[in-house]
Structure 1
Amino acid sequence: MTLRYFELSEDVQAGTWYLGDPVDEQGQEVDDPWQFRAGRPVSVTGRLTVPIDQQGRALDFSTAGVGLAPVVHVKVASVFAELAPEDVQFIPVRIQGMPDQYVILVATKCILCIDEQASAVQFWTAEDGLPEKVGKYYAVDDLHIDVKKVGTTKVFRTEGWKIALIVSEDIKLALERIRATGVRFTPV
């Protein structure tokens, strides 16, 4: 049986909260808000706080600020800890006014696996005026991956298009079983 994978993203709906970029103990935004989706372990000093930029219904899975850091309730984190302990890192965060515990979910692996023939990909060109980006992905729509390149990894980012957070079908089913809010799954 072939393993199936899904892109996990926030199911944005009216009336739900919008989280800002994490801040350190001095209230300063973290230097690199994109580090949490880089597909590698991160090192954080001190306790982070995630501000609520727009009040609304709390979600079990959200993406925070410009960096789109995945912020998850501990019940969601426990699914990842049980099913993919080698693929994730958890960074405890405080969310202002929330008694529940949340963590930033970091996928610690990045895999070169985008199936460019099956996906709708666009590349940066010399005409775009950014020579350092020429040949890299500009956009990846209708993302598909080559599962043969994934191995036993269950949670990862896609090399070259790190905005995509990919999870295996067993994680998808477990999150559906616990009725996690804020999750949207797109087959890849």
Structure 2
Amino acid sequence: MANSGRTPIADERAANVFRRLAPDDIQVFPIKIEGENRDFYIINATRCFSCVDEKNSREVQIYPSDGVAPERAGTYRAIYGLRINPARTEGARIFRIQRYTSALIVSAELKRALEEVGNLGVNFERVTGPQGTP
């Protein structure tokens, strides 16, 4: 991951998983990393959905219109125990959430394929189903 937007940086094997399973949901940009001989890629999720299930998320905080960051008014400040409504994601396998772009959501199929690559340096958290669902 890079920068505060949590942009995924992938090696060739992980990038190929994204290309194979989510070709319509991403852009892949080659990059060079100083001191590395391997190829790396920025993975950009191109789709964004209004899909937060606020009722079933543990806690949702929204920036107020009269706060210190008026440009963020109405956007999500924080979401704990995030839950999404998959019916609002149009079958995308990787996407960001409207008004909360720091979250990067991947499908269970994409998660499994990425885990097979191994040693990704990321944590996955379930965002569908009731709280506490493994």
- If the length of structure 1 is used for normalisation, what is the TM-score? 0.63
- The structure 2 residue matched to 1:92, chosen from 30, 43, 52, is 30
- The structure 2 residue matched to 1:118, chosen from 34, 56, 70, is 56
Pairwise CA distance, 1:127: 4.4
- The structure 2 residue matched to 1:103, chosen from 41, 62, 65, is 41
Q: Would the aligned equivalents of 2:96 and 2:102 in 1 still touch at CA under 8 Å?
A: yes
Give the gaps of 5 or more residues in structure 1. 1-62
Instruction: Show the 5 A alignment for 1:39-118.
Output: 63-118=1-56
Pairwise CA distance, 1:153: 0.8
Which secondary structure does the structure 2 equivalent of 1:128 belong to?
A: coil
Once the two structures are superposed, what CA deviation does each residue of 1:109-140 show, in whole Å capped at 9, x if it has no partner? 00110111111111112442333333221111
Which secondary structure does the structure 2 equivalent of 1:69 belong to?
A: coil
Distance in 1 (CA, whole Å) between partners of 2:119 and 2:16 is 12
- The structure 2 residue matched to 1:172, chosen from 101, 105, 111, is 111
- The structure 2 residue matched to 1:154, chosen from 88, 93, 97, is 93
Higher alpha-carbon Rg: 1
Larger RCO: 1 or 2 (CA < 8 Å, sep 6+): 1
Q: Would the aligned equivalents of 1:111 and 1:159 in 2 still touch at CA under 8 Å?
A: yes
Question: Letter of the aligned partner of 1:141 in structure 2?
Answer: Y
* Residues 134, 183 of structure 1: alpha-carbon distance in 2 compared, 3 angstrom cutoff: closer
Question: Letter of the aligned partner of 2:86 in structure 1?
Answer: V
How many correspondences in the alignment?
Answer: 126
Give the gaps of 5 or more residues in structure 2. 128-134
Poorly superposed stretches of 4+, deviation over 3 Å: 129-132
Q: Give the % identical residues.
A: 37
- If the length of structure 2 is used for normalisation, what is the TM-score? 0.87
